[in-house]
Structure 1
Amino acid sequence: MTSGNLTDAEQAVLDEIEEQDVDFLRLQFTDILGTVKNVSVPARQAEKAFAEGIYFDGSSIEGFVRIQESDMRLKPDPDTFAVLPWRQKEESAAARMICDVYDTSTGEPFEGDPRRVLKNALDRADEMGYTVNAAPEPEFFLFEEDEDGRATTKTNDAGGYFDLAPKDLASDVRRDIIYGLESMGFEVEASHHEVAEGQHEINFTYDDALSTADNVGTFRTVVRAIAAQHDLHATFMPKPIPRINGSGMHTHLSLFTEDGENAFHDDDDEFNLSDEAHAFTAGILEHAPAITAIANPTVNSYKRLVPGYEAPVYVAWSDRNRSSLIRKPAARTPAASRVELRSPDPSCNAYLALAVMIHAGLDGIEKDLDCPDPVRENIYDFDEAKREEYGIDTLPANLGEAVDALEEDDAIYNALGDHVSSKFVEAKRQEFEDYLVDVSQWELDRYLETF
C-alpha cells in the first residue's frame, strides 16, 4: 500500500496493516461520559480514513449532537495504531486507531469531543511554556460470572495487598493482561493485588498527557476483554462491594519546560518542589470541589469517597501521608518530582479529568496562588473542630453537590467548553435525580418489616 498524499506515520500504518494481515480496523473515540465507542471498517479503507475521514451519525452518541446536526467525521491518529491482542491468534487480525472527531458542517474539530477538550488544556500549557506528563493508577475488580455469563460480585480470590498465589488466584489473568498491553505498546511498570479481595492494579509508565488519556481507554478495553477470556468480569466501578476499599485512579502530574527540565523540581525547597509546583498544587486544591464532578462522575463514586477506606475526602496536601487529597511522592531523581491527586476513580472520562486537573493547576500558576502548609498528621483522626482549625475543607458528599460545585466554578466549567459542560451537567443532574427517587435494597432490608 502506497500513496504520495500520506504522512510518514500514516504510510507506516498502511505497511503495518499489510505485514500483520489486518482485516478490520476499529476506529475508536470516546463520548462525553467516557464510554469508548468504535466504528469498524475493512482495513482496505485505511487510506480513505486518513485522507477523508470516516463519517458517522453523531446524534446516536451520548452528549454529542441533535439529529438535525448528526453528520460527524472521524479522523484517525496514526500514532495510536495497535493490533488488538485477542485477535492475533485467529486467521486474520484486527487493529484499532483512536480518532479525533470533526464537525462536518464547519470542518473544524468538534467541541464536544473529549479528546479535543484535553488538547485545548495542553495548548494552554504550551502557551505558558510547558508540556504535561501524567501517570494514572487505575484499579479494578475481577468477579466471577454466573451460569448465564452475567457478572456477579463474587471474587475469585481471597488475596490482599501484594499477596501472592494461592491467595491471589488472578495472577495469571494479570500476566495475560500485561502481555496484551505490552503487545499494544504499553510499558508496564508493575502489577499487584490491591487491598480488597478481587481488587487489582497494573501501573504503566509516565507519558505525555494525551497519550496517557488514550492509554486509559485502551487499558480498560484490554482488561475487560482478557478477563472475559478467563470467564471473569472486570469492572472499573468505584465501589462494587460495600464496606471494603473501592477502586481509585490516583493520578500523578508534572510539568516540563521547553528545554526538557522538570518544572516541578527545586533542590533548594524543603519538599524539592518548585514555586510552579506549589502554585499548581494550590490551583488543584482551590478547584477541587469542581474537579470532583469530573473525576468522580457517578453516584457510586461517592460510596468510595468516605473516611475509613483509604480514599481522600479532605482538601489538603502532604509530603508524607495518604489521608490528604494531594500527595508529594518520593522522587529518586529530579525528573521524577511530581504531585499525586488521589481522588479520581476509574469510572471517569480520562480526557476530561486530565483536562480539568491541568486547567486548575495552570490557573494556580497564572494567579500565583499560595499553597497551604502540608498536613503531616492523619486527617482521618481529626474531628470537625480540628479540621476547621487547620482550614481543611471536605470534598462534595454526593454527585449532586459535586455538580453544583462545577457550575459555580467558572474556571473549570468554562475549561470544558460550552458544549461539554452543559451536556455533562445535564446528564449528571438526571443521573442524580434518578438515584434520589430509587429505593435501594438497603432501605428495604432496614425498614420494610420495621415500620
Structure 2
Amino acid sequence: MDQTERDARSTLATTLLGPLSERGVVGVATTFVDNSGVARVKSVPLERLPHLAAWGVGSSVSFDRFRFDDWIVGAGEGREAVGDLRMMPDVRRVVPLAAQPGWAWAPADRYAQDGSPHPQCGRLLLSSLVSALQASGITMKAAVEIEWVVSSAPGDDLVPGVSGPAYGMARLVDASDYSRDVLTALAESGVTVEQFHPEYAPGQLELSVAPEDPVSAADTSVLVRTVIAGVGARHGLRTSFSPKVAVPGVGNGGHVHVSLWRDGTNLMAGGAAEHFGLSPDGEAFAAGVLTHLPALMAVGAPGVTSYLRHLPSHWAGTYACWGLENREAAVRMVTGSPGASSSAANIEVKCFDLHANPYLVFAGLIAAGLAGLSSSSRLPDPVDVDPAVLSADELEARGVRLLPRTVTDAADAFEADPVVTSAFGSDLSASILALRRSEAQLFDGVSDEDVAASTRWQR
C-alpha cells in the first residue's frame, strides 16, 4: 500500500465525517473475523476515521491463534507476543449501526506494518480468490442465511425469549415488536432482507438477505449478526447463533447460497435437464465443492459444537451428496419456480454454521470450485431421498458418504486436501489445524450439554 492509496483512503473517509456526524455517530468500530469465527474489534472516535483509513490501527499477530474462549494456541516457538499488524477499514462499507446509536461499523483488512497483505487475513484471501474466479470470466453471487435463538434468561442460562410453534404465526405475533425493530435496523443499515420467519427450534428465527459479491456477502453476514444482537440487547434479549444452543432438537445453521454468472447469464440455469439446468461450468464448480466438502468442514463447521448439530435427518446436510430441493443433502440444488430459474437458480451448502468465518467459507468454496472448473468435473447422480434411509450397500453403490463426524475428522480431511491448503497458504492452514485440534482436546470427555453451554454465546 503506497502513499497515494493512503491519501485516497483518507480523503474518502473525510467525506464521510459530516454525514456520519449528522447521524449522531461518535465512534467507528472496525472488525475482522478470526480463525475461530469470532469478530474482533478496534474502534476510534469519529474524527480519527481519516487517520484510521490511511494508517489503520494496531492488532497483535496472536489473534490468528485465538481460540473461541480467548486461549492462544501457540506454535511452541513463543512468538505469539511478538509483532504487530494494521487493521485497515474498508471505508466504502462504513455503516451507522441503527441498533447501537452513536456507533458506525466497517469491516477491516489486515496488513503488515510495511503495508503488505497479511497472509492470514481471510478477507484479503477471499478478495484474491474472487479475482482468480473473475479471471476465468465468471462472477459469483452469494449470501448466508442467518438463524438465531433469543433468550430472556439472565446470565448465561437459556430461556426462549419468544413463544409459539415452529414456523407459526403465533411466534411472529409474540415477537412482533422485536421483529419489527430487527427489520427496521437492518434496512437502515443498508441490508436487503428477502425473507423473515420463525424457525423450528424454540425461540428461533431466521432471515435471508439478497445475494451480493462474495466479499460483500461475508461483510453483510457479520453486519447482520451485529445488528440482530444489538436489537436483542435493547429488548432485554440475548442472542445465540450457536450451531447447538441446547442439545435436544435442531440447531442454528449458516446455509450458504452461491450462483455463478458470465456475461449476465446464470450458469446454474439453462443447462442439461438431467442436472436440473446446471450449465457445464456450473456443474463443474458444484462438483468441485462436493469433492472438497470434507476438507471445507474444518472451515464451515469449525467447532466441537458444530458436530452436535450434524445429525442425520435433521436437515443439517450430513451426507456428501447433492439433490434437487433435498434438504438432507449437503449440496441442495435450488432452481426456483418455472420461469424464474434464470435469475433464481443456485446451490445451497447446508452443512456450515455461523461459528464459521464467512470470508474463509467463501474462500474455500471458490478454491474448491476453481479446482472443479479446471478439471471439468462432473457431478455424480443426484440423491432424491433422505440418505439416512438408504442401506450401507446402497450408499456405497451411489458413492454417498457421511461428512466428517467430529472436528478432528474435519481437521484431518483439511490437512489431507492440497487444493484447499494450497489456496489458504501454509501459515493460515497451520493456524486452522492448531485451533481445531486444540478445541477437540479442550472438550475431550466433556458432556454434550456442557459443550453446548460453553459455546452458546460465541460470536
TM-score by length of 1: 0.90
- Pair 1:250 & 2:255 matched: yes
Cα drift, residue 168 of structure 1: 5.4
**Alignment equivalent of 2:281, drawn from 257, 276, 280:** 276
Residues 14-37 of structure 1, C-alpha deviations (whole Å, 9 max, x = no match): 342243242211122222212112
Q: What count of residue pairs does the alignment treat as equivalent?
A: 431
Cα drift, residue 166 of structure 1: 5.5
CA separation of 1:13/1:314 partners in 2, compared to 1, >3 Å: closer, same or farther?
Answer: same
**Alignment equivalent of 1:185, drawn from 182, 185, 190:** 190
Q: Which residue of 1 aligns with 2:93?
A: 80
Question: Match of 2:297, as an amino acid?
Answer: T
2:391, 2:98 → 1: CA distance? 51
**Alignment equivalent of 1:420, drawn from 394, 417, 428:** 428
- Pair 1:96 & 2:105 matched: yes
Residues 324-363 of structure 1, C-alpha deviations (whole Å, 9 max, x = no match): 1111113214122211111111111111111101111111
Q: Which residue of 2 aligns with 1:26?
A: 29
Cα drift, residue 11 of structure 1: 4.5
2:170, 2:38 → 1: CA distance? 33
Cα drift, residue 212 of structure 1: 0.6
TM-score by length of 2: 0.88
Q: Matched residue of 2:59: which SS? A: strand
2:289, 2:448 → 1: CA distance? 34
CA separation of 1:268/1:307 partners in 2, compared to 1, >3 Å: closer, same or farther?
Answer: closer
Q: Is the 8 A contact 2:247 2:449 kept in 1?
A: no
Cα drift, residue 317 of structure 1: 0.7
2:363, 2:160 → 1: CA distance? 34
- Pair 1:408 & 2:416 matched: yes
Q: Matched residue of 1:220: which SS? A: helix
Q: Which residue of 2 aligns with 1:446?
A: none
Q: Is the 8 A contact 2:334 2:346 kept in 1?
A: yes
**Alignment equivalent of 2:83, drawn from 70, 80, 83:** 70
Q: Which residue of 2 aligns with 1:323?
A: 328
Q: Which residue of 2 aligns with 1:448?
A: none
CA separation of 1:389/1:415 partners in 2, compared to 1, >3 Å: closer, same or farther?
Answer: same
- Pair 1:110 & 2:118 matched: yes
Cα drift, residue 58 of structure 1: 3.5
- Pair 1:143 & 2:151 matched: yes
Report the aligned-residue RMSD.
2.2
Cα drift, residue 307 of structure 1: 1.0
1:319, 1:11 → 2: CA distance? 50
Q: Which residue of 1 aligns with 2:384?
A: 376
**Could you tell which deviates more after superposition, 7-16 or 418-427?**
7-16
Cα drift, residue 157 of structure 1: 3.4
Cα drift, residue 424 of structure 1: 1.1
**1:194-205 equivalence runs, <5 A:** 194-205=199-210
Q: Matched residue of 2:8: which SS? A: coil
Q: Which residue of 2 aligns with 1:447?
A: none
Q: Is the 8 A contact 1:279 1:369 kept in 2?
A: yes
Higher relative contact order (CA 8 A, sep 6+): 2
Q: Is the 8 A contact 2:199 2:205 kept in 1?
A: yes
Cα drift, residue 374 of structure 1: 1.0
Question: Match of 1:112, as an amino acid?
Answer: Q
**Alignment equivalent of 2:266, drawn from 262, 267, 289:** 262
Residues 257-283 of structure 1, C-alpha deviations (whole Å, 9 max, x = no match): 2x3322332255341110011111111
**Could you tell which deviates more after superposition, 260-269 or 419-428?**
260-269
Q: Which residue of 2 aligns with 1:46?
A: 49
**Alignment equivalent of 1:155, drawn from 157, 160, 169:** 160
Residues 47-92 of structure 1, C-alpha deviations (whole Å, 9 max, x = no match): 112232233344466459945642211221112111111333xxxx
2:391, 2:146 → 1: CA distance? 31
Cα drift, residue 437 of structure 1: 4.0
**Could you tell which deviates more after superposition, 223-232 or 286-295?**
223-232
Cα drift, residue 140 of structure 1: 1.0
Q: Which residue of 2 aligns with 1:334?
A: 342
Q: Matched residue of 1:100: which SS? A: strand
CA separation of 1:167/1:255 partners in 2, compared to 1, >3 Å: closer, same or farther?
Answer: closer
Q: Percent identity?
A: 29
Q: Matched residue of 1:224: which SS? A: helix
- Pair 1:126 & 2:134 matched: yes
Which consecutive residues of structure 1, in runs of 5 or more, have no partner in the other structure?
A: 444-451
Cα drift, residue 9 of structure 1: 4.5
Q: Is the 8 A contact 1:32 1:113 kept in 2?
A: no
Residues 196-253 of structure 1, C-alpha deviations (whole Å, 9 max, x = no match): 1111101111111101101111112111121122121110110122231111111111
CA separation of 1:222/1:120 partners in 2, compared to 1, >3 Å: closer, same or farther?
Answer: same
1:227, 1:205 → 2: CA distance? 22
Q: Which residue of 1 aligns with 2:397?
A: 389
Q: Which residue of 1 aligns with 2:446?
A: 438
CA separation of 1:267/1:422 partners in 2, compared to 1, >3 Å: closer, same or farther?
Answer: closer
Which consecutive residues of structure 2, in runs of 5 or more, have no partner in the other structure?
A: 1-5, 67-71, 452-459
**Alignment equivalent of 1:56, drawn from 53, 56, 59:** 59
Q: Matched residue of 2:286: which SS? A: helix
1:416, 1:211 → 2: CA distance? 20
Q: Is the 8 A contact 1:143 1:151 kept in 2?
A: no
